[in-house]
Structure 1
């Protein structure tokens, strides 16, 4: 029920003054049962300055002009922002009108498994996840969609008058960037260690070659060379496995679909490469 002109929103600026004037005009048209004119004035006031009383009056009159979905949205806003100390009978009136509006539309409670996903209904954006409020839709077939970073998912359903449904949309969350970075760093450290120990092993081998055959010094250097070569080998193995696992995770968790002209990477493998002339890690993929 519209409040009296004395209850109009406080005017704090020229925009606020205009909103207050439109609000009072809406009250006057409502009292004269000129609901279309009242709805237009309240809507204009709402566009200028949002408040619980403008929302409540707008939602109330929207019910009178057969706009139940819009009415439900504005009445819910009015109740969510209902101020402390306001008259209880006004709150009860808004709750009653909201129930009337909801009986003529469908209520959806939409959840998405990731935050910051764009949520659309029938191609129209309604916000980003997580959606805190109920979403009101006209009865009929509706398509609910979520999008984020190139990934998308959608579902269609029939909405009946007065229905209340929960919709859960699941998007591929994509790769965990910190995990990918950490895995890449550990893998590269392993490969770098392999290179370092391979260089040290080679140096020990050269030093051993300069020592007399059968000498204790030569024997010690050769033992050290073997130990360093083994450490280098397993460092390459460890780093390569970590790099391969990180790459597989990043590719498998990616939410983007590669172009049809490109084959998907289905397997990645790594192996150490140690020869007389070079040392490193060999990475290959199956396509």
Structure 2
């Protein structure tokens, strides 16, 4: 890389022009063995415009100033974005320098059981799951953490020079939102049915009271009143049990991050009238 620097750097914008200037200054300082100044110029160019050549030169000089972790990151980026048509010698140079950097640091392959979890190493965010590349860390005790929507998990491990370890973190996937909503919907529909049938039962009782004692009409109305009252009772009971169970499930998992993105159920209610009874038709579609 710096021993055969590429002078070409796109300058289609002010930032691009400034990055190209910093890149050339970095090459000059490198040739003069002024590595700290070269590293500063390459880093500034990288902050403005990320490209394989800047990453390669930055990673190479970071090795010279004893920053192997950063060097490994930038050298790997340079190799992952190495363009077709570039010289094979340059790629070989980058591979050798990456091998030197990796021998001084540890590599972690971190996986999390849910997507879009924030992944941290020693409190510093290194990306979001799923991580598509390995994470380089300094040797020693490291703390790996994942967190999402209030839930978090972490683990600590000792990292040796040149090691390559796989770390699997597991966050509780949390309550199923469709299940909570469906349970709440069914419970509320049960209570609504209880109210409806209680009103109908009362109406039947009032109608029966206006009929003569012993009449067939009065008997039929009292029977309908009893039936509707029973339906109302069981609707209240069933709805209450479902709501209680749903609430217990929701509260017991309230600190867990919801990951299900399924659509919510739709509720419907429609009155019905027949020769036998009047009522309210309640339901839900999923």
**TM-score normalised to the size of structure 1?**
0.82
SS at match of 2:179: helix
**Cα deviations by residue, 1:169-188 (Å, 9 ceiling, x for unpaired):** 22233333333223212211
Task: Give 1:74-93 correspondences, 5 Å limit.
Answer: 74-93=74-93
User: In the alignment, is the contact (CA less than 8 A) between 2:7 and 2:24 conserved in 1?
Assistant: no
Q: What's the CA shift for 1:201?
A: 1.0
Q: Tell me which moved more, 108-117 or 159-168.
A: 108-117
**Cα deviations by residue, 1:217-242 (Å, 9 ceiling, x for unpaired):** 12211221222122212211221122
> In structure 1, how many angstroms separate the alpha carbons of the residues matched to 2:22 and 2:116?
36
Q: 1:165: which partner in 2?
A: 165
Q: 1:210: which partner in 2?
A: 210
Task: Give 1:94-173 correspondences, 5 Å limit.
Answer: 94-173=94-173
**Cα deviations by residue, 1:46-101 (Å, 9 ceiling, x for unpaired):** 11211111001111111122211000111121122222333333233322322221
Where does the alignment leave 5 or more consecutive residues of structure 2 unmatched? 257-286
Q: 2:248: which partner in 1?
A: 248
> In structure 1, how many angstroms separate the alpha carbons of the residues matched to 2:48 and 2:125?
22
> In structure 2, how many angstroms separate the alpha carbons of the residues matched to 1:76 and 1:100?
12
User: In the alignment, is the contact (CA less than 8 A) between 1:173 and 1:255 conserved in 2?
Assistant: no
CA 1:90–1:238: 2 relative to 1, 3 Å: farther
> In structure 2, how many angstroms separate the alpha carbons of the residues matched to 1:228 and 1:114?
49
> In structure 2, how many angstroms separate the alpha carbons of the residues matched to 1:162 and 1:231?
72
> In structure 1, how many angstroms separate the alpha carbons of the residues matched to 2:221 and 2:116?
60
> In structure 2, how many angstroms separate the alpha carbons of the residues matched to 1:54 and 1:188?
62
Q: What's the CA shift for 1:153?
A: 1.8
Q: 1:269: which partner in 2?
A: none
Q: 1:231: which partner in 2?
A: 231
Q: Tell me which moved more, 75-84 or 171-180.
A: 171-180
Q: What's the CA shift for 1:199?
A: 0.9
Q: What's the CA shift for 1:3?
A: 6.9
Aligned CA RMSD, in angstroms, stands at 2.0
> In structure 2, how many angstroms separate the alpha carbons of the residues matched to 1:87 and 1:203?
91
User: In the alignment, is the contact (CA less than 8 A) between 2:6 and 2:53 conserved in 1?
Assistant: no
Q: 1:26: which partner in 2?
A: 26
> In structure 2, how many angstroms separate the alpha carbons of the residues matched to 1:3 and 1:241?
76
> In structure 1, how many angstroms separate the alpha carbons of the residues matched to 2:11 and 2:211?
97
> In structure 2, how many angstroms separate the alpha carbons of the residues matched to 1:23 and 1:137?
27
> In structure 1, how many angstroms separate the alpha carbons of the residues matched to 2:230 and 2:207?
18
Q: Tell me which moved more, 146-155 or 20-29.
A: 146-155
Structure with the greater relative contact order (CA < 8 A, sep ≥ 6): 1 or 2?
2
**TM-score normalised to the size of structure 2?**
0.82
**Cα deviations by residue, 1:175-206 (Å, 9 ceiling, x for unpaired):** 33333223212211111011101110111122
Q: 1:57: which partner in 2?
A: 57
Where does the alignment leave 5 or more consecutive residues of structure 1 unmatched? 257-287
> In structure 2, how many angstroms separate the alpha carbons of the residues matched to 1:66 and 1:6?
24
> In structure 1, how many angstroms separate the alpha carbons of the residues matched to 2:255 and 2:76?
36
